Structure 1
Amino acid sequence: MRLEFSYAFSVLAISCFSLQAQDLDSIMSLNAFTEESDLQKMLNKNVSVSSQNLTSRETPGIISVVTAEEIQNSGARDMVDVLRLVPGFDVAHDLSFVKGLSLRGNWANEGKILVLMDGQPFNELLYQSVAVGNRFPVDAIERIEIIRGPGSARYGGSAEYGVINIITKAASSLNGVAVYGTAGFHKDATGRTNGGVMTSHKGQKFAWDLSIFKGKSIVSDQLYQDIFLASEPVSLVHESHADPLNINLGLKYNGLSVRTMYDQFENADPISTASFSNYALDIEYKIKLSDKFRLTPRVQYMNQKPWQYDFEDTPEVDFNVRALRTLGQLDADVDISRKVNLNFGALYFSDKGIDLSVDETMLKMHNVAFYAQALFKHRLANATVGFRFEKNTKFASAFVPRVALTKKIQNFHFKALYSASFRSPSLYNVLIDTTGAKPERSNVFEFEVGYQFTPEMLLSLNAFHISTRDVIVYGSEGEGDTFVEWYESSEKSGTKGVEVVYSIRKKKWYSHLTYSFSQALSDNAVEKYRIPQTDKQYAGMAAHKVTLNTNVYLTPNLSFSPTMIYVGTRYAYTTSDENYELISNELEPYTLVNVFLNYKNLLPGLTLGAGVYDMFNERPLMPQPYHGGLGAYAPIPGRSREYVIKLSYQVNFKK
């Protein structure tokens, strides 16, 4: 551990020494590069997920952007492959082998990370979780904008630790028709078959887009033994699946935008199936009152069946609930001057849960929110000041401020950020709460420095401290007819750590090297996250992660992309004793090495890719990131080496 801290300190010292060698005036007077490099073009793009007025190096958040080029070159099979290459992210599994996200050493599946695709939230309304394994159409993505930090001041109570904003090609850049498909093969099984079609037409006043994605996959090709040894080991080739369906339609006419989306995802383990369905309709109208004043009213409707849970040995669906949301919002954006921007607004939404087994309303709650953010641009620093206030009819109100100082001065940039954030109790959190439902609250401090040594090379380092109070924690006991479940508030949790990103992008190759370190806070009070071996890590969480994402263009059309992910030691509950008490064990570090070849325009518009994932057959275990009690699952055995083939074909409409 001392070695990793020494390394991080050395990187920071080098950056600081480079700055001390020049005073502020000399830095301000440095000549700009005569031609933007490919790296500069990426860095200088505005990032909509955090601020529409600032680039990624000045926006008030710790930002990662993943492009369609990087996804295609790496041969990523699903969002798990994409996010594992992003600093701080990892994946663990919940009930029924449903995969969820962790961030910066914290289990972040319920209400802590907001996931959007073309503006539509994927967090379900009962628990605010997001299933990610083989669910999203990665080959249809234009870019992914990620805030590795709190987003509550802007996005509300589902963005306590982070935001993932997925933008598809059809909704943004495509003006034509494209089809794509992915197949993955293990030694003795077919791992996945995914495919989709998208079409879009962009006119001066009217535009439309339509995307359809459908897939089929297994969770693993290995044998699985339940944690209590209650049954014989089974092959997950026949006893698991993760099957998505997504239909996405968008219409635009002048300032009017309409998007409707249907998403269906089914995930199964050897004894149960969990399915998620979501229909969403979103209508907004951007009104340009003047060159400096823009007003956007918005209406959103969501109709979901989340966590439709079915045990194989029961005759009927065991959990069958519908969740509804109706939302209205009015957003205003004003340029007070060339250097001052003000964004503010208000929204109201109503959530309702219906138990379909008896056709009765379980709970209904109403929420109102007000938010504002001001941006002040100055030659020495940009200052961002904002807040959000939310009031719900079923739990206490939440007020979260944010303050940020950011600036890019020629090659150097810095960010000093403070954000309060919160997780709103969702429908089922409130329904079975035993300690008085209240928002979970976090205070997050972040600091980033970065330096662009050449037009093609950037080094950045950030440090963070996350302190979370009133942690919403799930509990259960008993089984069968004696089974009881509840939510309660625990006193404190959180992590601290550092993340380093080194990027170099040449005309014929690029490489991104990252290092992530996180450590549990010493006064953690959530027993479910604890493991007996150490108090510096939570269950299933690694302290260290290193990633390398490299691509070489062997010819203008042929690329070769090796990627590497190293994850350090983890501790997790893997088995039990004769009294059914869970036993925590050490999970050894692993290194995933993947390679992918991509040939563009094999024929006009046709792209063919092939590669190998987990080349050295590491098969890392994917544990549950908590003590699951009598409902615990053993870690999912990792997939074996997978051979992947990708094919896509695109025809563009004539302008």
Structure 2
Amino acid sequence: MRNRVICIALLAAFWCPVGSMAQDIENQQSQTLIMEDLKDYYGDEEFVTIATGSRKPIYKAPAVATVITAEEIKAMGARSLDDVLETVAGIHVMPSSLSRLDSIYSIRGIQSGFNPHVLVLMNGTPFANVFNGGHPILFRLPVSAISRVEVIRGPGSAIYGADAFAGVINIITKDVDEFNGTTVGGRVGSFDTHDFFIQDGRYFGKVSVGFSLEWQESEGDKSRKIDSDFQTILDNTFGTNASLAPNSLSTKYDVLNTHLEFSKDHLKWRNWYWRQKNAGQGAGGAQALDKEGDHDENLFLTDLSYAIPLENQWEINLNGNFLHRESDSHFVLLPPGALVPIGSDGNLNFSSPVGLVLFPNGLLGNPGGKETQYGVDLNGTYSGISTHRIRLGAGFKYQTAQGEESKNFGPGVIDGSEGVVTGELKDVTNTPFVFLPDSSRRIWYGSIQDEWQFVRDWELTVGVRYDYYSDFGRTINPRLALFWATRHNLTTKFLYGHAFRAPSFSEQFAINNPIILGNNDLEPEKINTYELSFDYRPTFDLQTVLSLFAYRAKDLIEFIPDTDGDSNTAQNAGDQLGYGFELETNWNINGNLKLVGNYSLQHSEDPDDGSHIPDVPGQKLYLRADLKFNRGWTFSPQLLWVGDRHRAKDDPRSDINDYTLVGATLRSPKFFDHWEFGFSAKNLFDENAREPSTTNIPGDYPMEGRNFWGELTCNF
């Protein structure tokens, strides 16, 4: 692996042309480069906040970072956060292969079924689901209220602690000035899709108030059909005919997303409410098609921040936040007429069943629960020492979860001797038979970071964070970043970071589950990442960024089959090696045409046997052109190619097919001073694109077919 990384680094050196630059410098008698020269090419309009915890020009940020603005989101025709993230180098948005079609943000070949390796923030505040460590179940976030999305590929635990493992995503909402009065809009499109949004920003004396509401509803693409599922396997085994396959995946959704912000002087209070209602269960909770089940979820997040005004060289910020989430799933895990072997604990058991049990109304389960998180963070930045900028941070967080469940199977409900079980559900909440007992943890942390410009062309960022968890102990995560202004139009970054992921409550404490069981002896997952990044701008209008990376992840949590049954228990059992590069280009050819593109290549493997990490793409290409014409009209065609995906080593199926998606967005200039029109086409050539599933659904998951939508907005 090291030899391959060295070869890639040498190729990067030739691509950049560092050799010719060295000759130029010699011919110019060792020209002195200073930071101010960079502004001619790099400017200061591009900035990122999550690389250091404060505003930093993106070309100097000690991380491989990407920023997508509201203007770019409009140009690409994105309707959800997933659409936005798929355009970022090194990231692939894919459905979970475990059960439902939850979106997984795979970064550089790192992914798992519940996506806990990526930390997602709303205005700098995490909102991860403590049950499984990932974002909310079946999470779909509209984008009309988003000002910008900041993405770091690589570790961020030295700033943010847990789960900033493979990357960090920060969603920044629009403030009152960006709303520019009142905006109302709507969309209609394929699959019986309807969107509505309203935004308003006002000043009341010194107090500013911003409000946005977005609603999205769709029946989903009924052409996303699968030929067989897990119940098909059971039918073939036990001679039944219960499977609903062939049939379509259940991908309907009904999402409400609201933001309310108050600001006055140094005080800011943000409130976010997100509601998912009657969401389809995709392939089903047990990978058996479920047309009747659905999922409801409510999330409320409030955070209050205060920038303490000081006259000296300190900047002090105090933040308090509170999150409450409630979820409720209605599963038909196996359809009516299912005949399955049941063990003495009431769960499916193929190795030592008590008897075969018929479920004429289906195998039913309604798991849900509530979680509460609150925390406080205090950080201060001191710039009183020449050439240094020192950041100190400390904080506390409390997390708690309560499982709720009713079902017609499992411990405390049946014992395998019944023969026939009806659809009557038994509530096992607050009993020893619930899927997750009440759980909680406390987290304390402290951090320090120094940005040191030790010579005019070099800046060193050194940081470390200490976290203490009440359930598994301490973890220490350092970072090191060296920035070099190589010449007036080239910057170079050398980066190292160590990160961790804390075990989720399900991985630690899950019980009474027919498939997975928790393990309270788990240790956090760990990763070491090394990066080398070049930002080269041969002209004022052309930017190219080449980023090379290599990492090793240790103690990855996997569910290992138990020797005495059909269950799987969480263990620190996996390691992963990865390396590759990402090439990004942004070219403003003239005032009317801009080209944007990126290409990603990664190789990730299990170091124990050299086998490929399954499902993740080894290569990805994204291209978009933004063309302005005829007094303000814009036309933006785009292309996405995903390729080089492998199966798990014990999966006999052939490798997953590559696919290419082509789309386009057309937008009008303002007419009658207030109105705008937009039209977008996705998967224009109706590509049969598929994302990987387990062998329970052998044909993989079909993605959305050709679809269109139109938008009309009014600003007044």
Q: Which residue of 1 aligns with 2:480?
A: 403
2:261 counterpart of 1:250: yes
1:467 partner amino acid? R
Q: Which residue of 1 aligns with 2:519?
A: 434
Q: Which residue of 1 aligns with 2:540?
A: 455
TM-score (norm 2): 0.80
CA contact (8 A) 2:8 2:548 kept: no
Q: Secondary structure at the match of 2:630?
A: coil
Q: Could you give the per-residue CA deviations for residues 136-155 of structure 1, whole angstroms, max 9, x where no partner exists?
A: 12232221111111111111
* C-alpha distance in structure 2 between counterparts of 1:276 and 1:347, whole Å: 28
Structure 1 residues 280 and 633: alpha-carbon distance in aligned structure 2, compared to 1, 3 A threshold: farther
Q: Could you give the per-residue CA deviations for residues 585-618 of structure 1, whole angstroms, max 9, x where no partner exists?
A: 2222211111111112033232211122111211
CA contact (8 A) 2:153 2:166 kept: yes
* C-alpha distance in structure 2 between counterparts of 1:356 and 1:134, whole Å: 20
Task: For residue 545 of structure 1, report the CA deviation from its aligned partner.
Answer: 1.0
* C-alpha distance in structure 2 between counterparts of 1:390 and 1:8, whole Å: 34
Q: Which residue of 1 aligns with 2:370?
A: 322
Structure 1 residues 483 and 46: alpha-carbon distance in aligned structure 2, compared to 1, 3 A threshold: same
Which among 72, 97, 100 is matched to residue 104 of structure 2? 100
* C-alpha distance in structure 2 between counterparts of 1:454 and 1:380, whole Å: 20
Structure 1 residues 305 and 133: alpha-carbon distance in aligned structure 2, compared to 1, 3 A threshold: closer
Query: Which residues of structure 1 form unaligned runs of 5+?
Result: 526-534, 575-580
Q: Could you give the per-residue CA deviations for residues 62-115 of structure 1, whole angstroms, max 9, x where no partner exists?
A: 011111111111212322222111111112222222222111112154321111
Task: For residue 388 of structure 1, report the CA deviation from its aligned partner.
Answer: 0.7
Which among 613, 629, 640 is matched to residue 538 of structure 1? 613
Q: Which residue of 1 aligns with 2:703?
A: 638
2:638 counterpart of 1:554: no
Higher mean C-alpha displacement, 554-563 vs 162-171: 162-171
Q: Which residue of 1 aligns with 2:391?
A: 343
2:456 counterpart of 1:379: yes
Q: Could you give the per-residue CA deviations for residues 512-546 of structure 1, whole angstroms, max 9, x where no partner exists?
A: 12110110135057xxxxxxxxx563221111111
CA contact (8 A) 2:35 2:456 kept: no
Higher mean C-alpha displacement, 63-72 vs 430-439: 430-439
2:643 partner amino acid? G
Q: Which residue of 2 aligns with 1:521?
A: 605
2:478 counterpart of 1:391: no
Higher mean C-alpha displacement, 609-618 vs 438-447: 609-618
* C-alpha distance in structure 2 between counterparts of 1:82 and 1:273, whole Å: 26
1:539 partner amino acid? P
Task: For residue 10 of structure 1, report the CA deviation from its aligned partner.
Answer: 4.7
CA contact (8 A) 1:79 1:133 kept: no
Task: For residue 554 of structure 1, report the CA deviation from its aligned partner.
Answer: 1.1
Task: For residue 134 of structure 1, report the CA deviation from its aligned partner.
Answer: 7.3
* C-alpha distance in structure 1 between counterparts of 2:369 and 2:308, whole Å: 38
* C-alpha distance in structure 2 between counterparts of 1:488 and 1:274, whole Å: 29
Q: Secondary structure at the match of 1:617?
A: coil
Structure 1 residues 153 and 8: alpha-carbon distance in aligned structure 2, compared to 1, 3 A threshold: closer
Q: Could you give the per-residue CA deviations for residues 480-530 of structure 1, whole angstroms, max 9, x where no partner exists?
A: xx87453221141131111111211232121112110110135057xxxxx
Structure 1 residues 226 and 118: alpha-carbon distance in aligned structure 2, compared to 1, 3 A threshold: farther
2:128 counterpart of 1:123: yes
Higher mean C-alpha displacement, 467-476 vs 395-404: 467-476
* C-alpha distance in structure 2 between counterparts of 1:53 and 1:240, whole Å: 39
2:523 partner amino acid? K
Q: Which residue of 2 aligns with 1:370?
A: 446
Q: Which residue of 2 aligns with 1:614?
A: 683
Q: Which residue of 2 aligns with 1:590?
A: 659
CA contact (8 A) 1:310 1:317 kept: yes
1:64 partner amino acid? T
1:367 partner amino acid? I
Which among 101, 108, 116 is matched to residue 111 of structure 1? 116
Task: For residue 309 of structure 1, report the CA deviation from its aligned partner.
Answer: 5.3
2:298 counterpart of 1:282: no
* C-alpha distance in structure 2 between counterparts of 1:405 and 1:132, whole Å: 38
Structure 1 residues 485 and 325: alpha-carbon distance in aligned structure 2, compared to 1, 3 A threshold: farther
Structure 1 residues 85 and 53: alpha-carbon distance in aligned structure 2, compared to 1, 3 A threshold: closer
2:483 partner amino acid? T
Q: Secondary structure at the match of 2:508?
A: helix
1:410-425 to 2 correspondences below 5 Å: 410-425=488-503
Structure 1 residues 396 and 637: alpha-carbon distance in aligned structure 2, compared to 1, 3 A threshold: same
* C-alpha distance in structure 2 between counterparts of 1:457 and 1:107, whole Å: 33
Q: Which residue of 2 aligns with 1:292?
A: 313
* C-alpha distance in structure 1 between counterparts of 2:484 and 2:328, whole Å: 44
Task: For residue 13 of structure 1, report the CA deviation from its aligned partner.
Answer: 0.4
Structure 1 residues 483 and 31: alpha-carbon distance in aligned structure 2, compared to 1, 3 A threshold: closer
2:258 partner amino acid? I
Structure 1 residues 133 and 437: alpha-carbon distance in aligned structure 2, compared to 1, 3 A threshold: closer
Q: Which residue of 2 aligns with 1:470?
A: 555
Structure 1 residues 53 and 353: alpha-carbon distance in aligned structure 2, compared to 1, 3 A threshold: closer
Structure 1 residues 31 and 61: alpha-carbon distance in aligned structure 2, compared to 1, 3 A threshold: closer
CA contact (8 A) 2:79 2:142 kept: no
2:576 counterpart of 1:565: no
* C-alpha distance in structure 1 between counterparts of 2:394 and 2:5, whole Å: 45
Q: Secondary structure at the match of 1:429?
A: helix
Q: Which residue of 1 aligns with 2:530?
A: 445
Q: Secondary structure at the match of 2:654?
A: strand
Task: For residue 474 of structure 1, report the CA deviation from its aligned partner.
Answer: 3.8
Query: Which residues of structure 2 form unaligned runs of 5+?
Result: 234-242, 283-288, 334-360, 406-428, 432-436, 511-517
RMSD over equivalenced CA pairs, Å? 3.1
1:94-173 to 2 correspondences below 5 Å: 94=96, 95-107=99-111, 109-130=114-135, 135-170=140-175, 173=178
Structure 1 residues 99 and 491: alpha-carbon distance in aligned structure 2, compared to 1, 3 A threshold: closer
1:50 partner amino acid? A
Structure 1 residues 235 and 493: alpha-carbon distance in aligned structure 2, compared to 1, 3 A threshold: same
1:9-28 to 2 correspondences below 5 Å: 10=11, 12-15=13-16, 16-23=18-25, 25-26=30-31, 28=33
Which structure has the higher relative contact order (CA within 8 Å, separation 6+)? 1
